[in-house]
Amino acid sequence: MRHRLRLLTLFALTGLAACAPEGPSAFVTFNLKPPATCVFTRDASSIALPTGLYDISGALKAADNDDPQTVTDCARPYYVHLQVNSFLRSNSDAMLGRAEPNILQLDRAEVRLMDLQKRTIVFGSGANQLFNPFLVTTNDTLTPASDTSASLGIATVEAIPVAYASFLKMFTGQQILAEVQIFGSTTGDVDIDFKPFVYPIEICKDCLRRCVDSLDDPDSLTKDDECNDNAGADGRACVDTKC
């Protein structure tokens, strides 16, 4: 009887070794403000961007123009760069030869675009209606947490694809909400679903787009301490050579 009990206990412990603990083991903290280098790093001192800003004028012009040679340089999607946290603890065991099962690898995210009443926005109609929510790819690898500090990572998510942006004209001067849920799995083959993260994005038209011919010095739009990626989003201007 005692032998059987020891076997059952051993099997139970073996099963727990491959499982992530219960509770909020992984979550999103905030959307990161682009640094001067335009390179996002895993840094606890990263600055949060409480509200996004997205200029849809480039997407509108792209939707109205069938000639790929004249498509605006500013037809760009809106990305969020989310700081993600993992509190999964190390569960490797060198004595038993067990590799680390709690390395968390992100692979995709589901995005739902909503109005401020959290109603799902409809993009198009009939056979041409676009999916909402929709899946996009993302990736990062988070090592197990140490002590009381979470392991940090960055998940870059295409929150508003260009095809969707052209339908947001009615929201110009208003905010929409992007609900982002990230999914991943551990190296121990345990699926991890993040708690959905809701982020407000202000929609504008021509607020960040500049025609290159109207500028004496296109580089003057970019200050030394700002990211210069021509994104037309979150305060960074887009210089358009085709207008």
- Mind listing the pLDDT tens digit for each residue in 38-60? 888 887 778 999 999 999 999 98
pLDDT at residue 203, as a whole number? 98
> How far is the C-alpha of 31 from the C-alpha of 10, rounded, in Å?
43
Q: Is 14 left (phi over 0), alpha (psi -120 to 50) or beta?
A: alpha
| CATH architecture, domain 22-51+77-204 | Sandwich (2.60)
User: In the structure, what pLDDT confidence band is assigned to residue 225 with cuts at 50, 70 and 90?
Assistant: low
User: Which tokens sit at 190?
Assistant: 């345990």
Contacts (Cβ under 8 Å, ≥6 apart) of 131? none
pLDDT over 60 (residue 16) = no
**Residue where the block lists tokens 């099997």:** 11
For the segment 188-201, the average pLDDT, to the nearest whole number, is: 94
User: Which tokens sit at 96?
Assistant: 């038993």
pLDDT at residue 164, as a whole number? 97
> How far is the C-alpha of 189 from the C-alpha of 102, rounded, in Å?
9
User: In the structure, what pLDDT confidence band is assigned to residue 221 with cuts at 50, 70 and 90?
Assistant: low
pLDDT at residue 148, as a whole number? 78
> How many Cα atoms sit within 13 Å of 4 on the Cβ side?
1
Q: What is the mean pLDDT of the chain?
A: 83
User: Which tokens sit at 199?
Assistant: 């982020």
pLDDT over 60 (residue 142) = yes
Give the Å distances, CA to CA, from 208 to 41, 54, 197, 219, 230: 25, 8, 26, 14, 10
User: In the structure, what pLDDT confidence band is assigned to residue 5 with cuts at 50, 70 and 90?
Assistant: very low
pLDDT over 90 (residue 36) = no
pLDDT tens for each residue of 75-114: 999 999 999 999 888 766 666 657 788 999 999 999 999 9
Query: Where are the domains positioned within the chain?
Result: 22-51+77-204
Which residue did the predictor score with more confidence, 144 or 24? 144
Measuring CA to CA, which residue among 159, 165, 149, 137 is closest to residue 88?
149
The alpha-helical segments, DSSP class H, found in the chain are: 2-17, 57-63, 162-165
